[in-house]
Amino acid sequence: MCGIYGFAGFDEEGLLDRMGKVMQHRGPDGRGQFRAPDGVRFAMGMQRLSIIDLEGGWQPVYNEDGSVAVCYNGETYNYLELREELVAKGHVFATHSDTECLVHGYEEWGIEGLLKRMNGMFAFCLYDARRREFFIARDRCGQKPLYYYYQNGKFVFASEAKSILQSGHVSAEPNLQAIDPYLTLRNVPEPQTMFKNINILPVSHYMRFAVAEGNLSIKRYWEVPLLDAGTATYRSDGEYLEELNALFHDAVKLCMRSDVPVGAYLSAGVDSSLTVAAMTRFSSNINTYSLGFDSPVDETPAARETAKFLGTNHHEIICQPEDFDLLPKIVWHMDRPVGDALLIAFYKLAQGAAKDLKVVLGGEGADEAFAGYSFQGVITKVQKMRRKLPWVTSAAAPVFAATPTGVLNKFFTFPADLGSQGKKRVVEFLRRYNGRDLNENFNALRTLWSEDERSDVYTSGFKHLATEQWMAKEREQDKKGPFLDRLLKLQYDEWLQDWALIRQDKNTMAHSLEYRLPFLDHRMIELAFRMPAHLKINKGTDKFIERQLADRVFPPHIARRPKIPFYMPVEYFLDKPQFRNLVADTLNESAIKKRGYFEPAKVKALIDKMHATREFIYCKQVVSLLMLELWHRVFVDKSYRFD
C-alpha cells in the first residue's frame, strides 16, 4: 500500500519530492522514484507503507533487464499464485513482494492479460522503456483512487488530487459543472472531480500514454457481468450456498496475506460479523474495532456482543461533539466535498485502529452484491407492482402525500424520523418513477435536493449551470438483465466507488492504514450476479443467502439481526456548540455571497428549519453545504494548512 504519482511531457526538478511529501501519510515508511532514461520526459514515484516483503519490497520494481518499471498502490492478493505461474514460465524474481508480479506479468501477458489475472485492490503506473509508453490502471471496483490532469501535452497523475496541484500546471479552481451533481448526490460522480481540469480514472479501466506522441487512450478491462434475463439458467440454491461459503472463506484468507498483523472493523451488521468469523478460522487474537456515538444512535452494544461471541480483542471508539472540529482536516484528506458528516466516524475509527495495526478488513461490498439496502427492496417491489398495474406509482403518490408523517416513520429504516422533507422525497420518487430508465428512477430515490429545491437555493447567475444533463442513462445492453441485478450493477458503476470506497480509502490512508474488503473479490461479485434474485431478497429478507451463511456461525439473534443503518446522527448534535458554531461560522452571509452559488437568505432559512424541526433531510442538506464551503476554504482560499 502506498501513494503513487508522476508526470510526463515536461520535466521539473524537485516536483516528485513535492508530490510525494504532500501525501506522505499514504506511505510514511519510505519513498522511491524513477526517471525514464534516454531523454524521455517521464517520471514517477511512490510513498511506501510496508506490508508485504518488508525489507525487499521497495519501489520502483523492475523486470530482469530493467526495461519495465512499476510504482504500485495496493495489494495483489493472489500474488503467490501469479508468482508460481510466472516462475514456471522462466521469469526470475528479485524480491518476494506482490508488486514484482506486475512487471513479469506484463511481459508475459500484456497489460490487459495482467489486469484480468490480478485479484486485489490497486492503482499503479507501469513504464515500458522499449515502447516509450506507460500505463496507469485502477482495480475493478475502485478501491484505490487515481487522479490525472492532461492539457497541452502535459500529463500529471497521483493517488490524491492535492499531489497534482503541486505541479503548478493546474490550480485549485472549482469545477462549476460539479456543483449540481454534488448537491443532488452529496458527491461528485466520476470521472469528474471538484477541481476544474482534474479527472479521476474510471474504475476497471486502464490508460495507455505514448510519451513521444503525447497521446492517450482509455479502455475498460472488466465490468459487472449481467446475465440475459430471457436465457439465464440457475443451479440449485444449495449449490450456490456451498460455492459462496467456499469462495468467501478463500477471499478472506487471501485478504489476510500480510507480513504485519491484520485486524478488522466490526459493526452490528452481518457483513463485518461474517468477515471476522472467517478470519478467526485462519488466525487467533484478532483485534476488532467498532465506532459509536454519544447519542441514542449507537451500535457498539451489538458489535460488542458479536466480538464476545467470536472471542476477539475488541476496541470501541466513540465520536464526541468536539470531533466536528476535525472536518476541515478530513476535507483536506478527502480532496473533495462529501455531503456526509459520517466522515468523522470513518476518520476516528481509522485513527483508533492505526494505533495498533497497519491492515484491517471490513464488510463493504456485500450490500451491493447481495441487496442489503432498503431502497433496493423498495425499487424492486415498485417495479413488480408496475408490471401488473402500470398506473400504480402515479396513483400511490397522492396516497403517500396524504398519509401522516408519523405513520410513515414506522416504515423508515433510519433511527431518525423521515420528516416532511423525507415524505416529499418518497412522493417525488413515486411521481417520477417511469419504469423505463432504471438509473433515472434510482437517482430519484437517492436525491438529497430535489430539482425544485436546488433551483430555489441557487442564485440567478448560477442557475444556468444547474441541469441534470450530467445524469447518466442506463445502457441499452444492460436492460436485458434481471431487474434486481440491473439495479445492483448501477451501484457498482455509479455509487460504490463514489460513495463508500473513496470515504474509506481517504480516511484510512490519512492514518497510514490499509483497508481490505473480501466482499469485493471479483469472484464473489461474479458469483452474486449468477444467482437468482430470490437468493438476495426473499420474502422481505435482504441478503438472504448471506444470512444463511451467518446461520451456520451465529445464534439467531446475531445472524438475523436487522440491518442498522450506519449514519452520523447530526440531529442529536444540533444543540452542541461545536456543531452550531461551525455551521454559523462557515455558512455565514459573507461566505455564501463570496461563492456566488447560493442565495444567502435561502441558506439561512434552511439552517433555521434544521434547528426548528431537527428533520433528517434538513440536517443532511445543511451538512452538504457545510462540506462544500469547507472544501473551498481548504483548497481555494487556503485558509487551512495540513501538509
Is residue 217 classed as helix, strand or coil in its secondary structure?
Answer: strand
Beta strands in 472-580 (DSSP E): 514-516
- Phi first, then psi: give them for residue 300, nearest 5 degrees: -65, -35
Q: What is the rounded distance in angstroms from the CA atom of residue 523 to the CA atom of residue 224?
A: 10
Q: What is the rounded distance in angstroms from the CA atom of residue 214 to the CA atom of residue 466?
A: 34
Cell of 553: 456461525
If residue 156 lies in a helix (H) or strand (E), which one and from where to where?
Answer: strand 154-158
Cell of 54: 518488508
Cis peptide before 261 (omega within 30 of 0): no
Outline where 259-299 has alpha helix (H).
270-282
- Asked if residue 147 lies in contact with residue 3, where contact means CB atoms within 8 angstroms, the answer is no
Residue 239 neighbours by CB distance under 10 Å? 10
Is 29 annotated among the ligand-binding residues? no
Residue 581 sits at the vertex; the CA angle it makes with 578 and 585, to the nearest 5 degrees, is 135
Catalytic residue among 2, 255, 319, 619: 2
Q: What is the rounded distance in angstroms from the CA atom of residue 335 to the CA atom of residue 351?
A: 18
- Asked if residue 43 lies in contact with residue 35, where contact means CB atoms within 8 angstroms, the answer is yes
- Asked if residue 42 lies in contact with residue 216, where contact means CB atoms within 8 angstroms, the answer is no
Q: Is 141 a catalytic residue?
A: no
Cell of 48: 511506501
Chain-centroid distance, C-alpha 488? 15
- Asked if residue 124 lies in contact with residue 114, where contact means CB atoms within 8 angstroms, the answer is no
Q: What is the rounded distance in angstroms from the CA atom of residue 331 to the CA atom of residue 631?
A: 6
Q: What is the rounded distance in angstroms from the CA atom of residue 577 to the CA atom of residue 21?
A: 35
Beta strands in 297-456 (DSSP E): 313-319, 359-361
Q: What is the rounded distance in angstroms from the CA atom of residue 49 to the CA atom of residue 33?
A: 15
Length of the chain: 643
Closest to 380 measured CA to CA, from 372, 402, 165: 372
Q: What is the rounded distance in angstroms from the CA atom of residue 255 to the CA atom of residue 142?
A: 16
Q: What is the rounded distance in angstroms from the CA atom of residue 319 to the CA atom of residue 323?
A: 7
Find the farthest-apart pair of alpha carbons in the chain and give their distance in angstroms, rounded: 74
If residue 70 lies in a helix (H) or strand (E), which one and from where to where?
Answer: strand 68-76
If residue 601 lies in a helix (H) or strand (E), which one and from where to where?
Answer: helix 600-613
Q: What is the rounded distance in angstroms from the CA atom of residue 601 to the CA atom of residue 631?
A: 21
Residue 207 neighbours by CB distance under 10 Å? 21
Binding-site residues: 98
* Residues with a known catalytic role: 2
Binding-site residues for L-glutamine: 98
